[in-house]
Amino acid sequence: MKAFFLLLLGVLPFGILSAQESNRKKGGATAMFVDPLVKVFKYSNDLQEIKPVADVAKGEYASFQFVYRSGTAIKSLSAKITGIKGERGGTISNSMVKFVGYVKQGKYTDKPATDIIRSKDGTFPDPLYEQQSIAVDAGDNQAIWLTVPITAGQQPDLYHGELVVTAVTANGEQQSVKKNFDIKVYPVSVTKQTLWVSNWASFLSPSSVVMKNPQASKMYSDEYWTALKAMADKMNDYRQNVVRIEMLKVITFNKGNNGHYSFNFERLDKMMGLFMQSGIKRFEGDFVAQKMTDWAGPLGFVMPADAGDAVSRKLVTVNDADNNARQFYKEYLVALYNHLKQKNWDDIVFLHVSDEPTQQNPKAYKDMLAFVRSVVPDMKIIEAINQPVPIDVDIQVPLLSYLRYGALPKFEKQRAQNKGELWYYVCVSPQYNYPNRFLENPLIKTRFLHWTNYKYDLTGFMHWGYNIWTGYPFDFSTSNSVGGDAWIVYPKDGKIISSVRLEAMRDGIVDYELLRLLEKKNPALAQQIVNATILDFDKSNTDIGTFRTNRRKILTALSN
């Protein structure tokens, strides 16, 4: 009997999927919940139906993914949550229903992971459209994303909700499907965040903040500040708490007749204040220098050519005695630091010296760092470090793959000596089986970015691309980078909208905080769970069912 039952379990998914496929070919509809960590393609016919239960803490979001597919073209597919009620009488409100959209892939990685997802039609599910309804072609899957905020004051309980999906065909025929889902809210709170998260954003142009009419508006207009505040709020909603500002493009400055510079920080103050109102806690500043030629070449000062609203840039070599770059930076850095000190912001602003200094030419970076330290010795410095050698900065941010090859103990020793912080970053690399946020990766690997933070005691995360849109943002072939690398949000209807990858990142940040809480209560269990999940820098257990079980263990242990 046991053998027959196990055989039945193995055959059951195929039977369910065969019935779904048969129903679709006959023009009927299939509708079911699938795990939100599953990427649902338009053509997917191997989806596994799940019992929709979200196990959550107070202060996070419950997410569900519902898939509707019909053999008949749908003119209008809409969905709504009719109510979420607890068994003790409480309710949950302000839930949102979004539609998963599709983007063109663009480049795949040069060193693909063993579990790479290759799209059959060249598109990947990613953006989350915030609209009332959507049209669906015959035979295509349409994923519907449910987002339910769990407030800090939500009563722990088991809550029951109902989703109603309505499909209207071209000839006006209507069909509605009702499905129930559950949310278990544990007596655990994750309102406080200890992990530092920075996604570099572009916001120094009207189009980058998705102003309603960027052609008719100007930088620093009332409409610009309103749009920037909306962007800041979106960042905060997704637990980003560090923002990089190209400060020399924001402030104004002039060179007087006496040959010295004067600086006006009014716009920078307004910008930082706006971000802080939205919950941003720290800021990254400019790069003092850039590489002059190739990756391993000499460094040059990023020298402003003029002042005013549009500040152009040119590179001036360190050894060029005929320029005033050193004078400018001596005056600018001192003025900036003194201003930050006066505003009590000197502890929350971190300057960059040069992006990704390399092992091939370490002297160029050390010389530039020495210059900055000589001018403003107390200015805090953060650096994305593209070499396995520790550098004396306040926040070291090595590339994740370098930590794997024996560099982690060196960085940890340096951190202990200067009492600095150790983060990590990913970008177009590392590839292969490392966690990253590429479109081609399973979503669970994007979520695992912050399990990696916890595993190796890395207290911050950095990525270069929040909204570095090029060409058409819904087509990653317009980017020179790997699909998913340059941006993780999209512009739509005058707003910035989320993606399934950004949802996974936010959930991963919450997982990090839950593991930190468990570490205080039961460190052995925290290590047991993370070690069974993240096996090495480039090795993890990506089975979704196992992951859900382990996360439930964390919540249960914290509730006892």
pLDDT, tens digit only, all 560 positions of the chain: 333 223 223 333 333 344 445 444 444 578 999 999 999 999 999 999 999 999 999 999 999 999 999 999 999 999 999 999 999 999 999 999 999 999 999 999 999 999 999 999 999 999 999 999 999 999 999 999 999 999 999 999 999 999 999 999 989 999 999 999 999 999 999 999 999 999 999 999 999 999 988 778 889 999 999 999 999 999 999 999 999 999 998 998 988 889 899 999 999 999 999 999 999 999 999 999 988 877 777 888 887 766 555 566 676 766 655 567 888 999 999 999 999 999 999 999 999 999 888 777 788 888 889 999 999 999 999 999 876 555 778 999 999 998 988 788 888 888 888 788 999 999 999 999 999 999 999 999 999 999 999 999 999 999 999 999 999 999 999 999 999 999 999 999 999 999 999 999 999 999 999 999 999 999 999 999 999 999 999 999 999 999 999 999 999 999 99
Give the containing element (helix H, strand E) for 129: strand 123-129
Instruction: Write down the pLDDT at residue 16.
Output: 38
Radius of gyration of the chain (CA): 25
Terminus-to-terminus CA distance in the chain, angstroms?
38
299 in Cβ contact with 364 (< 8 Å): yes
Rounded Cα–Cα distance for residues 207 and 223 (Å): 12
**CB burial of residue 46 (10 Å; 0-12, 13-18, 19+):** exposed
**CB atoms < 10 A from the CB of 15, how many?**
10
502 in Cβ contact with 423 (< 8 Å): no
Rounded Cα–Cα distance for residues 31 and 66 (Å): 7
Instruction: Write down the pLDDT at residue 23.
Output: 47
All structural domains of the chain: 28-189 (2.60.40.10), 241-379 (no CATH)
DSSP 515-545: HHHHHHH-HHHHHHHHHHHEEETTEE---HH
Rounded Cα–Cα distance for residues 65 and 419 (Å): 43
DSSP 335-376: HHHHHHHHTT-TTTEEEESSSS-BTT-HHHHHHHHHHHHHH-
Instruction: Write down the pLDDT at residue 290.
Output: 87
- ∠ CA(222), CA(308), CA(372), 5° rounding? 110
Instruction: Write down the pLDDT at residue 310.
Output: 55
**CB atoms < 10 A from the CB of 348, how many?**
16
- Residue 558 has phi, psi (to 5 degrees) of -75, -20
Starting at the edge strand found earlier in the chain, the sheet holding 96-104 runs 29-34, 61-70, 141-149, 96-104, 123-129
Coil, helix or strand for 418?
Answer: helix
- Which of 500, 496, 558 lies closest to 128 in space, CA to CA? 500
With tokens 């103050």, the residue in question is 269
